[in-house]
Structures are given as C-alpha cells and as structure tokens.
Structure 1
C-alpha cells in the first residue's frame, strides 16, 4: 500500500499530534497508521517494502560507482544520502559529506531525523562546507581515501554555479575516473525539474534531472529516484 508521505514525514506528523493532543507517542503513531490504511504503526512499518531502505540500497552499490540520487524538494533525498552514509560507516567505512547548501550544524541536526547518533559516527564522518567545492577540491580532499569510502556531494547542480569551475560535465568525468581509481562510491544529490508530475508517473527518471548545462548522464553508473516514500534504482551502465 502506497503511503501519502515518506515515513519520516509521518513520524513528524505523529509527534506534532502527540504534542497538540497530549497523547502518548505510540497512540499518535497508531492514529497516523490508521489514516494510511493500517491498523497499527507496527503493521505499517512491517509492510513497507525494503527496496528503499538504506541498507538494501547500499548493497546494490559497488566501489567505483558514481550515483545520482534525485527527488523533488521535501522527498527526503538529503536524509536518504545520510542514511546511506550511516550504513557505510556501520560497515566500518569512512563517509564524507560535501555540501554547498548546508552548514555543519544543519547536517549534524539531520542525524536525529534519521534516528542516528552523530556522536557515534563522528570519527568516521567528515562534513565539508567550503565555498570552493568542486571536482578538484573533492579529489584533493580524498587523495588518500580508502576503498569503500562513501562520498555525498550536495548537490550536483551547485557544482556548476561558479564561473571559475570547469564545466559540470568535465567535473563529473573527473570524479568518475577518481572514484574508479580509489574504489570510492560517490553519490550526487540532484534536483528534479519542476515539470515532473507525480500524477503522470509515480517516480522521476533520468529525463527529469534538472540540467542547466548539458551533462552526459551515461557518466553515472546508477540512479536512485525518490517520491512519496517510494524508491527506484535505475542501472545506467
């Protein structure tokens, strides 16, 4: 059964209901579950497919992969990328989060939203909020990264903003070669064009990725698309 919103949105709704009506959280969760067509929250959680879980998504990625993770605003693409980073760190790998969008505090606060303790993973997790993030910057920062390191770039289109940066296609090509050389997994969070209409198709695809300047999407190995709690993997190469 398809949910009306991602799980984390439903949890936020339940917490708000808990405060507004002064009821226990478990009761608020069950009420939300009923609205979604399930008798209890535990049944809702159990019935949801594991296809979109971070663990199953990460299992489908391999060292050297270049991945695009796309969704419209509010569909959880940043949180999903952090969930993937957490899963990689649970397996003993390091993770890096390069962002031109958020501050360090913003990123750390989002750990709570996915139910993870930032303090536990801090030794393996590095956040880079430099204004000069580009392919060259990332390659320089990760020159000694171990195979299996997971890298999140937030987000793809912002690499194209500075006039002194190389063309976006050239940057993606450089990071593709670097990922293969070092055995890294690099995930680009990506914007989806406003023209995407969920009423026409349930999930975005490659045609919906917003590209202010042309980029050969065949440079990517895989793409994940999110919408309303659903996720789909597309193998590009």
Structure 2
C-alpha cells in the first residue's frame, strides 16, 4: 500500500487538524484517510496492519522479557507499544498500560489511530495513571497477573522522578527479577537523547537512550528503535 507520507506523519497531520478545526481526533483521522483514498481511518489502518511489524515483533517476545522501545517525539514509540499490547490481547493475554504522561483519553485516541476499537478488548486491557507508578507499584499491581501478560511502562525516564522512589537502576533491576519470576513481559517506552543526529544515523540505537540517571542497558532483552517510519528490532 502506497501512502503519500509515512503513517506517523499522517497521524501528526490528523492531530494538527483536530486542534485547528476543533474536531475530535477520530474525525480528523477519517479526513486524512479520505485524502489517501480510504473511506475511514479504520480501513486505512486495517490495510496497513496487514504489513505492520508489531505482529512480527510480538512473535519474537518471550515471557519474562524486558523490551525497550525508543524514538524521538512523534515517531511512533507509543503507538508501537500499544500495537504490541494489542497483539498480546489478540493472543488472549492481558495488557496493562502504566503512564505518568498520558490521560486515558489520550490512550483511547491512540488506539483508534492504529485502527483498534478499545471496547473490543474491554476485559483484557487495563489503564493505570496513578502518580505512584514505580517499580514497587507495578509489581504490586501485576503480582497476580497471568504469565504472558504484557505491560507497557510510559516512560522509562519518569520512574525515578519522585525523590522518595529508588534510583532508576534499582527499579529496573526489581522489575527484571519480577518479570523473570512471573513471566510478565514489560515494555518500556524511552526517550532518545537530544544529541542523536538522524543525518548521520538513520535510526537511533541503544547508545542514544537518554539517561539522566545511571542505568545498565544490558538489563533489557529486546530493543526496538524507530525513526521516520523505519524500525530496527534487536535481541540482546
């Protein structure tokens, strides 16, 4: 399927149109889809999903994996993480989205941006916006989660923003041990350092992760980096 621009750019156009025209995001997405020759965004997204990489990436994940998804703002890291959550739910597993950044409406809008109606997975998806999100909190919430549950953490660099929380390294080690013992898959959305230059490197890598505090990045089992529609996935 040939689009006039990468999908992440079309989604950005829709968000801008939504703000400028004062219309709901789903209506703006439909308008952008119409410009691409589709009667609705859901049809465009369904067609795109036939070749979407999230399904292939999900097939390579294993219970207990820690996965790092990194990109600059607006290049699809949140959408990729949600697509992985959708793939887990298609397989009958639960998914949980922990966020210190987004509102519930934001996440529901992003589900629709990838052509998914949230009500379809009503019994399998959980959304958590608690200000208390940290490693200990995540472990407590997921303690009884079935093996194969996929949880997205939005985002890595915010875990230790509160002074009362342990350092980032300690928290990721805690989550690593929990994932290994429970079989829960943990997907961490991550910022990319501002020093990353796409003109010299088409896609960021593990060396471009923004680390305001020390962290051993070898704790992650899989990485996924995105830039301008290009995706690089690697197992440690």
TM bucket, shorter chain: 0.7 to 0.9
TM-superposed CA distance for 1:14, in Å, is: 8.3
CA distance in 1 between partners of 2:5 and 2:214 (Å): 32
Question: Any idea what the Cα deviations from partners look like across 1:169-191, whole Å, max 9, x if unmatched?
Answer: 01000101100111111000000
| SS state at 2:159 partner | helix
| SS state at 1:224 partner | strand
Structure 1, unaligned stretches of length 5 or more?
31-41
Question: Any idea what the Cα deviations from partners look like across 1:53-74, whole Å, max 9, x if unmatched?
Answer: 1101111111110011000000
Structure 2, unaligned stretches of length 5 or more?
22-30, 38-43
Residue 28 of structure 1 pairs with residue 35 of structure 2: yes
2:192 touches 2:208 (CA, 8 Å); kept in 1? yes
Q: How does 1:136-151 map to 2 (within 5 A)?
A: 136-151=136-151
Q: How does 1:1-237 map to 2 (within 5 A)?
A: 6-10=6-10, 13=13, 28-29=35-36, 50=51, 53-236=53-236
CA distance in 2 between partners of 1:211 and 1:202 (Å): 21
CA distance in 2 between partners of 1:186 and 1:87 (Å): 14
How many residues are paired up?
215
Question: Any idea what the Cα deviations from partners look like across 1:71-97, whole Å, max 9, x if unmatched?
Answer: 000001111111110111011000000
| SS state at 1:160 partner | coil
Q: Which has the larger displacement, 103-112 or 129-138? A: 103-112
TM-superposed CA distance for 1:235, in Å, is: 1.8
TM-superposed CA distance for 1:8, in Å, is: 4.0
Runs of 4+ off more than 2 Å: 2-6, 8-16, 24-28
Alignment partner, residue 35 of structure 1: none
CA distance in 1 between partners of 2:101 and 2:12 (Å): 23
Q: Please, what TM-score do these two structures have when normalized by structure 1?
A: 0.83
TM-superposed CA distance for 1:11, in Å, is: 5.9
TM-superposed CA distance for 1:25, in Å, is: 6.8
TM-superposed CA distance for 1:28, in Å, is: 2.2
Q: Which has the larger displacement, 115-124 or 2-11? A: 2-11
Q: Please, what TM-score do these two structures have when normalized by structure 2?
A: 0.83
Give the root-mean-square deviation of aligned CA atoms.
2.7
Distance 1:26 1:188, change over 3 A: closer
CA distance in 1 between partners of 2:131 and 2:32 (Å): 41
Distance 1:6 1:164, change over 3 A: farther
2:4 touches 2:36 (CA, 8 Å); kept in 1? no
CA distance in 2 between partners of 1:226 and 1:25 (Å): 22
